[in-house]
Structure 1
Amino acid sequence: MHSKARNPLRPLLGFGFLVQGFRCFPWMAVNFFLKDGLRVAPSTLQLLQTSANLPMVGKPFYGVVSDAVYIRGEHRIPYIAIGVLLQAMSWLFIALLPQSSISIFTFSVLLLLGNLGASIAEVANDALVAEAGRQPTSTTSTKRTSSGELQSFAWMLGSVGGAIGNLLGGIAINQFSPKTMFLVFGLLLITQLFLTVAIRESSLDLPKSSSKSSIQKQLSELSVTLRKPEISYSIAWFALSYAIIPILTGTMFFYQTQYLKLDSSILGLSKVFGQAAMIIWSASYNKWLKSVPPRKLISALQATIAVFMVSDALFVKQVYRNFGVSDTVYVVFFSGLLEVLFLFKVLPFSVLMAQLCPPGCEGSLMAFLMSAIALAAIVSGYLGVALASFLGASAQDFSKLPNGILIQAACTIVPLYWSSWIPDYIKASKKVD
């Protein structure tokens, strides 16, 4: 009992997901740095932000490597440290380089480096969650739910980090330069790096692996796992449910800041409300919704997203003003909730995948899932740029934005027609070794 109290697993994961959630702090500054510092157009802003996520697509490779390649006898802690180091280098370079030396190309390369580090660290953290969720316990029922509880813990800490980051970001952007915010986050990452390397993986009390796999063997096991229909069809549906929706985040950001002239603190509060909703969702899922069939829960969330998108179209048409709802109130509450509704689906789906995942392939499968989501988000972002261009939406003309949002809503409904690809039960929960 005493040794368990000293297990640094939860503090390690908690701080890791807290910092991961806090990444929204510098990324809020990125939006304003691109808009006001580099003077980019809405479509260019969205294009740069979307392209910066390309390293996330490589997550399966990072997962396979972390599963198979041990560094000084460890295969999770070193990869977290490497990922944190790359992020720190990225943000500190951006913060310390002279303004005249930062071109769109330089900025994009450094953002790619930062997201490469973030993706490596996220893979290692996600693998730790999946791996620790298989820790043997005294009863099979406890064993079945431990993964979901650790997932909820990680999500809640990530949401807390996001809430703090968005709140402080909305305030700081009016008080400090974006480069100062980049510097603050870089120093936080240096702190995380020192705390991470001080922990030995043997102290985490993880389940013992029967043997170390080669990369070739790990790829083979991942291939076998992905050929399981309940896994492959589920991931295909999940990825398509994102990719098919043309996101208009760049245009909406300009609409809120240029046209409505909302203060950055309002945007920060909107994101804080969204993160608070994420915390409530994580706790609610863990307490009441884990027994709900995955297909039913995820489909309901998909339909809810479409409803909120229709509401966004009414907002841009200024319908809510006629009912006395101010732009500020709508953006804080409704826009903040819509933004995180896209993420609500990830929690029940990642728990489903962790329970369907065969032992020894946790890092690879969870990384493949996150990679599929990242690729889908990139496709969605590029489709959004194309849609905005087709509609003629720009920083000066938002008249066609409601039409674009309604197209989004229609595309969101389409995946419900093949929701049967998701299991309506959790197969892994029926038989636990």
Structure 2
Amino acid sequence: MMVEEENLEEACVDAVEENEPKRGFFDCFYVPIHWLNMLSREMHWSFVFGVIAVYGISQGMGGALIRVGTEYYMKDVQKVQPSEAQVYAGITSIPWIVKPLWGLLTDVLPMFGYRRRPYFVLAGCIGVISMLLVSLHEKLHIVFALLSLTAGSAGVAIADVTIDACVAQNSISHPSLAADMQSLCALSSSIGALLGFSFSGIFVHLIGPKGVFGLLTIPAGLVFTVGLLLDEPHMANFSYRQVNQKFVDASKAMWTTLKCQDVWRPCLYMYLSFALSLNILEGMFYWYTDAKGGPSFSKENVGFIFSIGSVGSLLGAILYQYVLKNHPFRDLLFWTQLLYGLSGMLDMMLVLRLNLRFGLPDYLFVVIDESVSQMIGRLKWMPMLVLSSKLCPSGIEGTFFALLMSIDNVGLLSASWGGGFLLHVLKVTRTRFDNLWLAILIRNILRLTPLCLLFLVPRGDPNSSILPSEISTKEGIDTPENENIELVSLVNSVDGK
């Protein structure tokens, strides 16, 4: 009897194995399609389209195109000095500093009965109009060019906060698919950036930087389309009398949290860590492309270098996720900040042409430099994201996280303007690069100074709570859907949950 049962079990196993489809090479193409179909069925195809349009095309591909296009636009069309271009780059990033404002608006101020759709439409309109103005105007004054580029940046920032709110809402209603949504966001952004940087130099070469701005109306138009197609329930009889009170409540809760010593100390470190890492990328870019003794890279080469740099950034995120995410904040920030400062010496070697003495051609050396810099920069950024998430009190997580990201963006703005001032003082111009090596040396030294401020960072385990219990349990603003704007999206992408 037992022998018959064993034979029956073996027959069943053989039948199951025969019925299972054999996995082949083409499964790697079918699996992503089935995965996207599953997400579309569970949450609606318009949401999947929105994530791909905003993260992949607008931020990923569009962000890559506008970075390379803007650098050549400032250098070849507006003909500004490197120090001026550095300051202007900081100005165009200002809309990302006021992200809490966009977050609060999408949370507490619906328009025409919808919370998300109008903001996508608004972001798309702003993007299309601003890019068309820069693209079509023959001799646009630098002030109006900056206003247009800043408006375009605002359109991307508004769309970013709004899609984060959609991801957060779906993560709450479909908790089992939260990790899949974060994978969709991360993959869309990474693939878009790789494609954008790969073709950015070619497009700039063929149609010029103004033509690239014209192409950027396509991502903005897709964001506008997301606002028309997004599946969102209509809210009737919304009381706008609640709006002022919610703004007041949110502001009070954020101020109370910021006054806590366990919160403002890490915030101060994060700001100083970014601000002291002076940004002189515009000076390096001019040297790459214009200096007589420099590499004289073509537009195509510049785009490919940036694309390989984004691969280094992706590798840094993977390394953090699978190897470093459980290390204490202070230890990890010490080593990443140290490596960040030391990696800047690669720029010094390049400018002093030491790489040629070692037999390393410029293109290979710059590719290595960009990849290492992006990977270490990502490793430095990831623990700060996790630390920021630990500083958010219950009830205002999304809005407070947006505030912390704004503090970081203020640090990046300070670094950009400080780098521009340094280039100006050292008289690094479009044609003079004699003191560029000194600017790099000063920047590298300043990158190491945050090591003296690590006492501001808690020693705690990244998996443990940081906030005192009396703050972490306070109630903040309540939205009808009890939604968070960014926390679910960003934290899940960091923690991989």
Q: Which TM-score band (shorter chain)?
A: 0.7 to 0.9
1:62 to 73, 92, 102: 102
Larger Rg, first or second structure (1 or 2): 2
Aligned twin of 1:32:
72
CA-atom RMSD, angstroms?
Answer: 3.0
Asked if the contact 1:90–1:110 (Cα under 8 Å) also holds between the matched residues in 2, the reply is yes
Asked if the contact 2:311–2:371 (Cα under 8 Å) also holds between the matched residues in 1, the reply is no
SS at match of 2:434: coil
Aligned twin of 2:89:
49
Count residues in correspondence.
Answer: 417
2:150 to 106, 112, 115: 112
SS at match of 1:177: helix
What residue identity is the alignment partner of 1:125?
I
TM-score, normalising length from structure 1?
A: 0.86
Asked if the contact 2:82–2:423 (Cα under 8 Å) also holds between the matched residues in 1, the reply is no
Distance 1:79 1:343, change over 3 A: farther
Aligned twin of 2:348:
313
Q: Write out aligned runs for 1:260-409 (5 A).
A: 260=294, 261-339=296-374, 341-409=376-444
Aligned twin of 2:162:
124
Distance 1:408 1:153 in 2: 36
Matched, 1:20 2:42: no
Higher alpha-carbon deviation: 312-321 or 353-362 = 353-362
Aligned twin of 2:212:
181
Distance 1:288 1:80 in 2: 37
Asked if the contact 2:316–2:378 (Cα under 8 Å) also holds between the matched residues in 1, the reply is no
What residue identity is the alignment partner of 2:440?
I
Asked if the contact 1:294–1:352 (Cα under 8 Å) also holds between the matched residues in 2, the reply is yes
Distance 2:120 2:401 in 1: 15
Displacement, 1:306?
A: 0.6
Distance 1:183 1:75 in 2: 30
Asked if the contact 2:120–2:223 (Cα under 8 Å) also holds between the matched residues in 1, the reply is no
Q: Write out aligned runs for 1:114-153 (5 A).
A: 114-129=152-167, 137=175
1:425 to 454, 461, 480: 461
Percentage of identical aligned residues: 22
Distance 1:169 1:29 in 2: 7
Asked if the contact 2:314–2:375 (Cα under 8 Å) also holds between the matched residues in 1, the reply is no
Displacement, 1:39?
A: 1.6
Asked if the contact 1:131–1:362 (Cα under 8 Å) also holds between the matched residues in 2, the reply is no
Distance 1:359 1:14 in 2: 30
Distance 1:223 1:413 in 2: 31
Structure possessing the higher relative contact order (Cα contacts under 8 Å, 6 or more residues apart)? 1
SS at match of 2:43: coil
- Runs of 4+ displaced beyond 6 Å: 1-4, 429-433
Distance 1:135 1:330 in 2: 48
Asked if the contact 1:273–1:337 (Cα under 8 Å) also holds between the matched residues in 2, the reply is no
Distance 1:156 1:369, change over 3 A: farther
Matched, 1:222 2:261: no
Displacement, 1:186?
A: 0.6
Distance 2:371 2:222 in 1: 30
Distance 1:277 1:176 in 2: 28
Distance 2:461 2:169 in 1: 22
Displacement, 1:243?
A: 0.7
- Can you give the 5+ residue segments of structure 2 that lack an aligned partner in the other structure? 1-36, 235-241, 474-497
Higher alpha-carbon deviation: 421-430 or 263-272 = 421-430
1:165 to 158, 175, 196: 196
Could you give the per-residue CA deviations for residues 330-377 of structure 1, whole angstroms, max 9, x where no partner exists? 122213442564344333322333344234323312221221122111
Asked if the contact 1:155–1:282 (Cα under 8 Å) also holds between the matched residues in 2, the reply is no
